[in-house]
Amino acid sequence: MEPVLLKNLNNPNAYKLSVYEAGGGYKALALALKKNPDELIQLMKDSGLRGRGGAGFPTGLKWSFVPKDFTGPKYLCCNADEGEPGTYKDRGIMDNDPHLLVEGMIIASYALGAVASYIYIRGEFAFGAKRLEAAIDEAYKKGYLGKNILGTGFSHDMYVHRGFGAYICGEETALLESIEGLRGQPRKKPPFPALAGLYAKPTVINNVETLACVPAIVEKGVAWFKSMGPEKSPGPKIFCVSGHVKKPGLFELPMGTPVRDIIFKHCGGMREGRKFKAVIPGGVSAPLLTEKDLDTPMDFDSLAAKGSMLGSGAVVVMDDSTCMVKASYIITRFFSHESCGKCTPCREGTIWLTKILKRLEHNEGTMADVEELERICNNIFGRTFCPLGDGAVMALRGFMKNFREEFVHHAEHKKCMVEGGYEL
Amino acid sequence: MITLKVNGKEVTVNDGTLILDAAKEAGVTIPTFCYQAKLSGLGSCRMCIIEIGGQKKLQPSCITPVIPGMEVFTHSPQVVSARAAMLEFLLSNHAFDCPVCDKAGECELQDMVFEHGPRKGSYSETKRVFHEKDYVLSPVIVKNSNRCVQCMRCVRACDEIVGRGVLGALGRGSGQEMTSFLKTQLDCDHCGMCIEVCPCGCFMRKPYRYTARPWDLKGVKSVCPYCATGCRITVEERAGTAVRSIAKEGAGFNDKLLCARGRFGFDFVNSTKRITTPLLKKNGIFEPITWEEAYSVMQRNIKTASGEKTGVIASARLTNEELYLLQKVARTTLKTANIDSASRWSEAASAAFMHAVEVSGKAVTAYGCMDQAAIFILGSQISDENPVTDYIVRIMSNARRKNIIIASPRGMKLDRSAMLTLRHAPARLGALILGVCAAIKEEGADKFAGIKGVDLLGGKTVDSLAKEAGVSSDDVKGAAKRLKASETIALMAGIDMMRNSDGINEMQLLKDMLKVLKKDVRVMPLLDRTNQRGAWDMGVHPAFGPGYSDVSSKGLGAEGLMKKAASEGLDMLYVVGEDVVASYPGAALVKEALKKIKFLVVQDVFMTETAKAADLVLPGAMFVEKNGTVTSQEGRVQRINMLRKPAGEAKDDLEIIAAIGGMAMGGAEFSSDADAVLSEIEKTVTRYSGAAAGVETTEGFLLGDSDAGQAKQASAPKMKETEIIDGAPLRPYHLVTGNHLYYSGTLTAHSKVIGSFISGPVVEMAASEAKKLGLNPGDEIEVTGAEGVKAVFSLRVNSGTRPDVVFVPENYADSPANMFFEAGIGAPRVSVAPRRK
């Protein structure tokens, strides 16, 4: 398929407004501004676009929750925190094609009636932040931002807000807290951000990739968008593949492309002489899939049916040199390091899991530890404040369900099952 | 109203009620850690999670509102096991140093585990250790983070209740530590709210540390002896030493709320500097004598003294019983109407104030004021003078956006909660209020034609009044607009109005005008002495008797007595618990006056400056050494109880007063039993009828309305301003005084803990002005007043204060603020300069 979101991935000058415009950029904005905001929201609903940040919530529906008769300011926030290990899809857009995001955000803001929008970008993405700031400056100069955009009377301001390196700030309410200058911890819901979000005003939070889909939908229409992928989650999707494949990288493919195709067709298969062992389909919170599930289409519903999730579309491939105890230890350690500390089960539970996994990995564990892991997982799951703790449990459960024998081997034989294990 | 089922039992509650509270209605207690009624909802500890019919995930009941038809299960197997699991998590990194933890025995974590399990834990990893040794956060706070359950109560309490926000969380996840930003000494209010809300031994009282186990303590319910907010406290002692004063959830209207003075200032009761025997001055030197001798000296002097030339000045910290009996003794045995309960303002000002704030009406509570739509706080430095009232205003304004207007020359903590602050010139509150009245009058002047006092306005305009008050006319109009837009209004009026005799008549006018506009107006006085309102109710005033009853002839108040003493001398002055020398506004006059009193008898617990000038000193009792009742500024009567016998030979004040009463020639008997006196009060002051039973309740006895005895309409005299004499050295600042957060007179001076918060007398000025003068906080500053009187203070700065104002806390024994004052002159002018080295 013709790439839409990554069309400028390999165009080194696409970050410049002139180049972006030459490629047809900001035409969608002009088109959108001629429409009525309600029409745009309906267009998004009709397109079937679902949030690309992980939860897959229908974007048009989310936009329609913002109260229309609200007289105060409304906001749009772009979640560019991209903290899920293995994910680098948004970076591809922001570094190389910043105007695509800016254009999408202006259209979305117009549809929502937002006075200002914020791009909450992961702190480490210094380059992307600079590119975005430069793009916003250019857009202001050209009249795409600021007062009376393109003479339509619509005014809008856009800001880049850099994060400070906390995974939790990718959670939408923690992101809002962080923009407000508060400690990055999730807020209680209700009230939902659509009613009381940033500065307690109606707010929509969308992922970078979601917003990047907007201009194309406006320009090319619903039918074009729905021509890709399954009926219930249509459109293009960026898959960022990492791990033990020949050719890892960013791939823009239709939603619903089977995992097997991604690994063996687009990534050139497994490393030389190695066999496929498992794949994490959507960032490390997503439970892994094994050989038997390789034909699962990569879309929200199909993966959910398999007990996993599409998440951010970060595909982490592991071959037979991977020790699953070590892999799960590293992933769980990540979650305990990133646990914000707000709620008890996540704060105390993830660190506990990490400590046990560390012992198992270093061949100091026992069978009781393996059972303890399962017990602690049960005590965390479904009781945390936000999905971070649940994510940690889902990931670990995925490993333990499919590769329990490796954990048992570590506990009983005090050594790893995987010979010549590859150092992660 | 919403109907739901809790464990099968149907309950109906208001919309928006939390499941936690709905369960309480159904008689079910759900355990909580991070939840505190007075704090914002957090929902983080997950102790309160419950099962909702039809929902897979357990939900936190402390932040989830009820919905119709909801079915809640608080003790289903899933919930019970989740609760034990949460406790297991909390214990996993807990220090388990209960044997040496101050909290052990009254620890919420212990109690919770005892009730909800787990019976055994399996955590065998290394524990998180924040630090090896406990560290000090303030003279009163010791910190041990290894015990923390991360409920954030301390952080929220500091921000949402106290308004300081000096605590926060450092680090993230399991390494998250609630502490100050640099883990060093805090520049805070030292109120210990963080300690009180802490469920385990993470924040501890430094002075109490390792002095007792909770089960060794013997305590009595009492009332804080400082300001008139009337906070319920329990004073606890071990082996004869008072070690702790605490406020408990559900023990009184203030629940856990206390300020630094209330929580740590009680230790004056342990002072060794007590007067323990009666003392008689012979040849200028005090000699201990027996009570018999003391009484006979007293009786001799009563016999020869003329009632006209006798006076009684009582502290407004005495109990209702003592005050009632004292005025009775004064009017019978001592045959005088010269009696007053304060020496800091004129009797005319206090009489006018009483009428304006409706002290003879029914009780108006702080929470009741916060139910109103607009709250106008005037004439009070509330954050310093009534810290817990300040907390209540802040808590309630956080919960519901309130239209709060504050008028004060000084900046204060509560400004952040206000919609409008009016920084008026000192002693110009009257002009400010008149300005507001004028702005209200602008539409429909004829409506207000009949009101008494409307002539105060004369032809003055909003602009001219605003200029006189030193504020912008927009602000004055803004205040008027906010008041007009609110159907219900509360006025909280402070003692600055009496100090400066300023704004009282004008507030009466404002009140009357608002009533014409059919507003529901509540008025509450903000007073700084525990029982000031009780003293007035008991008739300790020269112009009226108990229950504001008429007296045949009016006597002299403190101001009148001092002037009379200075001019023609007095036969006898009986001072009970008041330090006239340190607090009378006009130090020069009072010193002159006391010399001309033939027989000065002082009944007190400490050797105050006034006691030093006495001929006879009688040792009285402290608040923990007596039984009785006190009436808060709200009109809430509460009981104080005896924890121990008076020190040494000292006696219960009631007993001394009764004995003096019995010295009359007729040999009348006066009961010295507090309960008997209270029942007499119930009969005489009808608003107190039922008090004896009422004081036993948690809420105390709230005074009701009564037709009998109203505070009379009175007019407050206008004070003069310092004259500016050509050619004299320029004194550009106005001096204002009041209570400091840590300092309110003799009692605080004898509190070691309070003494550790600030060293020596302080002066406060606007930060901008200090900067302009090149002065830094902590610098030694010389303040010079009229006729060259000067004293040295340590500088503190306050960012919100008017630049032309300097503040010195009242009645410091070393550098008394009253040396700069002269009776009848408000906000005297002073100059400040760095002290010459």
Output the pLDDT for position A424: 43
Amino acid letter, residue A105: M
Task: Extract the runs of DSSP E, i.e. beta strands, from A169-272.
Answer: 203-207, 236-243, 249-254
Residue B573: how many other CB atoms lie within 10 Å: 28
The distance of A182 to chain B (nearest Cα, Å) reads: 11
Any CB–CB contact under 8 A between B629 and chain A?
no
pLDDT > 70: percent of chain A:
99
Please give the Cα distance from B406 to B421 (Å, whole number): 5
Residues of A in contact with B88 (CB under 8 A): 379
Output the pLDDT for position A400: 97
From edge to edge, which strands make up the β-sheet containing B135-138? B135-138, B141-143, B203-205
Residue with tokens 């920084």: B423
By CB neighbour count within 10 A (0-12 exposed, 13-18 middle, 19+ buried), where does A179 fall? buried
Mean pLDDT in each 10-residue stretch from start to end of chain B (837 residues)?
95 95 95 93 95 93 94 96 96 94 95 92 92 94 96 96 94 93 87 95 95 94 95 95 94 95 94 95 96 95 94 96 96 94 89 93 95 96 95 91 93 94 94 95 80 83 95 96 95 94 93 94 95 96 93 91 94 95 87 94 95 96 96 97 94 95 80 94 93 93 81 78 69 89 80 84 91 91 87 90 91 77 83 82
CB contact under 8 A, A338 and B173: yes
What does the pLDDT look like over A285-322, one tens digit per residue? Answer: 999 999 999 999 999 999 999 999 999 999 999 999 99
Q: Which of B254, B136, B157, B107 is nearest to B206 (CA)?
A: B136
Please give the Cα distance from B673 to B670 (Å, whole number): 9
Any CB–CB contact under 8 A between B62 and chain A?
no
Q: Tell me, yes or no, if the pTM score tops 0.90.
A: yes
Amino acid letter, residue B43: G
For B172, the closest of A166, A345, A352 (CB atoms) is A166
Please give the Cα distance from B89 to A80 (Å, whole number): 33
Whether the bond into A230 is cis, omega within 30 of 0: no
Answer yes or no: are the C-beta atoms of B632 and B254 closer than 8 Å: no
Question: If you write DSSP's letter for every residue of A247-305 in order, what string do you get?
Answer: S-EEEEEETT-BHHIIIIIIS-SBSTT--EEEEESSSTTSPPEEGGGTT-BSSHHHHHH
Smallest CA–CA distance from B47 into chain A, residue:
A344
Question: Could you give the dihedral angle defined by the CA atoms of residues A176, A178, A181 and A187, in that order, rounded to the nearest 10 degrees?
Answer: 60
Please give the Cα distance from B292 to B287 (Å, whole number): 14
Please give the Cα distance from A179 to A184 (Å, whole number): 9
- Residue B629, strand partner residues: B639
Please give the Cα distance from A96 to A10 (Å, whole number): 8
Residue with tokens 């289409």: A297
Output the pLDDT for position B707: 66
Amino acid letter, residue A290: T
Question: If you write DSSP's letter for every residue of B501-540 in order, what string do you get?
Answer: T-SHHHHHHHHHHHHHTT-EEEEEEE-SSTTHHHHHHTT-
The distance of A340 to chain B (nearest Cα, Å) reads: 4
SS3 of B797, please?
strand
- What does the DSSP 8-state code read for residue B99? G
For A344, the closest of B90, B122, B168 (CB atoms) is B90
Output the pLDDT for position A420: 60
Amino acid letter, residue A421: G
Smallest CA–CA distance from B42 into chain A, residue:
A188
Smallest CA–CA distance from B176 into chain A, residue:
A341
The distance of A347 to chain B (nearest Cα, Å) reads: 5
Across residues A183-200, what is the average pLDDT? 93
- Residue A252, strand partner residues: A238
- Residue A279, strand partner residues: A289, A317
For B44, the closest of A343, A379, A382 (CB atoms) is A343
CB contact under 8 A, B82 and A379: yes
CB contact under 8 A, B85 and A345: yes
Question: Could you give the dihedral angle defined by the CA atoms of residues A194, A197, A202 and A208, in that order, rounded to the nearest 10 degrees?
Answer: -70
Residue B728: how many other CB atoms lie within 10 Å: 10
Query: What's the token pair of residue A152?
Result: 């339509």
By CB neighbour count within 10 A (0-12 exposed, 13-18 middle, 19+ buried), where does A87 fall? buried
Please give the Cα distance from B667 to B653 (Å, whole number): 20
Question: Could you give the dihedral angle defined by the CA atoms of residues B366, B370, B374 and B379, in that order, rounded to the nearest 10 degrees?
Answer: 20
Q: Which of residues 10-69 of A touch B (CB under 8 A)?
A: none
The distance of B86 to chain A (nearest Cα, Å) reads: 6
Output the pLDDT for position B728: 66
Any CB–CB contact under 8 A between A191 and chain B?
no
Q: Which of B159, B269, B274, B276 is nearest to B207 (CA)?
A: B269
Smallest CA–CA distance from A354 into chain B, residue:
B125
Please give the Cα distance from B587 to B580 (Å, whole number): 9
Per-residue b or e along B30-63, where b marks 16 or more CB atoms closer than 10 Å to that residue's CB: bbbbbbbebbebbbbbbbbbbbbeeeeebbbbbb
Smallest CA–CA distance from A349 into chain B, residue:
B89
Query: What's the token pair of residue A13?
Result: 């000058």
Please give the Cα distance from A350 to A344 (Å, whole number): 10
Query: What's the token pair of residue B76?
Result: 């289903």
Please give the Cα distance from A84 to A18 (Å, whole number): 33
Residues of A in contact with B173 (CB under 8 A): 336-341, 347, 350-351
Planar angle of CA B415, B416, B422, nearest 5 degrees: 30
Output the pLDDT for position B811: 67
- Residue B279, strand partner residues: B288, B617
Relative to beta strand A203-207, strand A157-162 is: unpaired
Smallest CA–CA distance from B173 into chain A, residue:
A341
Q: Which helix (H) or strand (E) holds B498?
A: helix B496-499
Query: What's the token pair of residue B681?
Result: 């009060």
Please give the Cα distance from B586 to B606 (Å, whole number): 22
Please give the Cα distance from B746 to B582 (Å, whole number): 9
SS3 of B222, please?
strand
pLDDT at residue A422 greater than cutoff 60: no
CB contact under 8 A, B172 and A343: no
Answer yes or no: are the C-beta atoms of A315 and A86 closer than 8 Å: yes
| Contacts of B240 by beta carbon, 8 Å cutoff, 6+ apart | B644
Please give the Cα distance from B533 to B738 (Å, whole number): 18
Across residues A360-369, what is the average pLDDT? 94
- Give the end-to-end CA distance of chain A in Å, rounded to a whole number: 34
Please give the Cα distance from A318 to A397 (Å, whole number): 17
CA A226 to chain centre: 21
Q: Which of residues 191-250 of B touch A (CB under 8 A)?
A: none
Query: What's the token pair of residue B791?
Result: 């004293």
Residue A183 phi, psi (nearest 5): -65, 130
Q: Which helix (H) or strand (E) holds B218?
A: strand B218-223
Output the pLDDT for position B724: 66
For B92, the closest of A352, A383, A384 (CB atoms) is A352
Name the packing angle between helices A324-338 and A404-413 (round to 10°).
Answer: 100
Query: What's the token pair of residue A91?
Result: 């970076």
Whether the bond into A12 is cis, omega within 30 of 0: no
Any CB–CB contact under 8 A between A356 and chain B?
yes
Smallest CA–CA distance from B63 into chain A, residue:
A188
> How many Cα neighbours within 13 Å face the side chain of B813?
14
Residues of B in contact with A356 (CB under 8 A): 125
Residue with tokens 């856990």: B256
By CB neighbour count within 10 A (0-12 exposed, 13-18 middle, 19+ buried), where does B700 fall? buried
* Torsion B538-B544-B547-B548 (CA) sign: negative
